[in-house]
Amino acid sequence: MGDQQRIPVMVPWLGEAEAQAAADAVLSGWVAQGPRVAEFERAFAERVGAAHGIAVSSCTTALHLALVALDLGPGDEVVVPSLSFIATANAVRYVGAEPVFADIDAATGNLTPDTVEAVRTGRTKAVVLVHQGGVPADVDAVAKYAAEHGIAVVEDAACAIGATVNGRSVGDGSLIAAWSFHPRKVITTGEGGMVTTDNAAWADRLRRLREHGMNASAAQRHASDKPILESYLETGYNYRMTDIQAAVGLVQLAKLDQVVARRRSLAARYHELLDGVPGLSPVRDPHWGTGTYQSFWVLLDEAYPLTRDELLAALAEAGVSARRGIMAAHLEPAYAGHPAAPLPVTERLTRDSLILPLFHTMTEEQQDRVVAVIRQQATG
Ligand SMILES: *Cc1c(COP(=O)(O)O)cnc(C)c1O
């Protein structure tokens, strides 16, 4: 099958408006973190219902800063799902704390109060609640449970820009949340991330930490008519976003509702077309919210005649790029020897699920081709 007809798993929806915005930023002469980053932070925080947004270079760096804001360090345990992109667990190691893997709920792929409780110890200080693949976790239940045990909740909302919980945006009412603008996510700036929080003191500190711990930003010094002698208050990082990225982000953010609506309507069409295929369960919204379908995964069981890897091969043969399901960090060499409780649901999901193509410009004809392969293999 030729490359032209190959159906990709994901394509970001970028166009002339993003190209023009990037060009305008370049031509303005201000390309590093500046006024466009500040504007993107305000617009993004407002969209997700948070008081403050701190733009950074990725969701990975956003997670790192969120854990620094909570003053976590050696001796502290942070509960994370193993079923997540590995950055979720790695960020805990960055601050010297111990990631503790918890199992997940099979329907949503997310942590629940029960799965966290199964691994909680006296040293548990925080939980990183991932909205996996854009499926909203039961934030209210986890936040209530965490409050009862003095545990902080950091939300990894990398895939959940535009998801809702009980009628509110994910991020609205969060203690602290981390977001991604990688091209594989809902909206993109090439690379990029954001921290959101209602806590003004944390926001001030994280704004400094992303720029080497400096007490005055380049933009503040530029705007001042008197020389500002900066000082460096603590060991910081260079986690800045550029104004070129933020310019693209502002255009993407304005398209967010359209992007999410399109993803949800393609997902609904997959649900219809895949209905009744034996041994195959597609991801769905939980009863408490609406997801982004950043990853449209299907879980196979014994009633489906092929294994996950066999179905991936059949799809590839037919020119369809699917992907294995979400990874499990505890199975990777980076976590070899790291203690972990049994994680049966995590291991089943990572072994038996796959992610189907779903992108803004996907046509019905392309979607029909994906489903035809799955149905054909199901009937032998
Ligand atoms: C993609 C992803 C990340 C990392 O995002 P980057 O912006 O690429 O650093 C973290 N957590 C989850 C759940 C992700 O899906």
pLDDT single digits (tens) 1-51: 444 589 999 999 999 999 999 999 999 999 999 999 999 999 999 999 999
The radius of gyration computed from the CA coordinates of the chain, to the nearest angstrom, equals: 21
Among protein residues, the one with the nearest Cα to ligand 1's atom 5 is 59
- Global pTM value: 0.97
Q: Where in the chain is the domain with CATH 3.90.1150.10?
A: 257-379
Residue 75 predicted with pLDDT over 90: yes
What is the rounded CA–CA span in Å between residue 357 and residue 355?
7
What letter represents residue 104's amino acid?
Answer: I
Q: Where in the chain is the domain with CATH 3.40.640.10?
A: 16-255
Specify which residues 232 forms β-bridges with.
214
- Whether residue 155 has its Cβ less than 6 Å from ligand 1: no
How do strand 77-81 and strand 124-130 relate by DSSP bridges? parallel
Which three-class secondary structure state does DSSP give residue 177? strand
- Whether residue 252 has its Cβ less than 6 Å from ligand 1: no
Residue in 266, 184, 203 with CA at minimum distance from that of residue 68: 203
pLDDT of residue 49: 98
| pLDDT tens readout for residues 193-240 | 999 999 999 999 999 999 999 988 777 788 888 888 889 999 999 999
Token pair belonging to 314: 């059949």
What is the rounded CA–CA span in Å between residue 14 and residue 184?
12
Residue 90 CA to ligand 1 center (angstroms) comes to 11
Q: Identify the active-site residue in 125, 144, 185, 255.
A: 185
- Whether residue 154 has its Cβ less than 6 Å from ligand 1: no
Mutate to test the pocket of ligand 1, among 10, 83, 110, 156 (most ligand atoms within 8 A of CB): 156
Specify which residues 128 forms β-bridges with.
154
pLDDT of residue 2: 47
Give me the residue label for tokens 């969060």: 174
Mutate to test the pocket of ligand 1, among 63, 85, 327 (most ligand atoms within 8 A of CB): 85
| pLDDT tens readout for residues 288-301 | 999 999 999 999 99
- Whether residue 294 has its Cβ less than 6 Å from ligand 1: no
Residue 263 predicted with pLDDT over 70: yes
What ranges make up the beta strands (E) of the chain? 52-56, 77-81, 98-102, 124-130, 152-156, 164-165, 168-169, 176-180, 193-197, 280-282, 289-290, 296-300, 323-324, 353-356
Whether the CB-CB separation of 293 and 131 falls below 8 Å is answered with no
Residue 57 CA to ligand 1 center (angstroms) comes to 11
State residue 46 phi and psi, 5-degree precision.
-65, -40
Q: Verify whether residue 185 is a known catalytic residue.
A: yes
Q: Which fold has domain 16-255?
A: Aspartate Aminotransferase; domain 2 (3.40.640)
- Whether residue 290 has its Cβ less than 6 Å from ligand 1: no
- Whether residue 193 has its Cβ less than 6 Å from ligand 1: yes
Please tell me the CATH code under which domain 257-379 is placed.
3.90.1150.10
The alpha-helical segments, DSSP class H, found in 183-337 are: 200-209, 218-223, 243-254, 256-274, 308-317
Ligand 1: atom nearest CA of 58 is 7
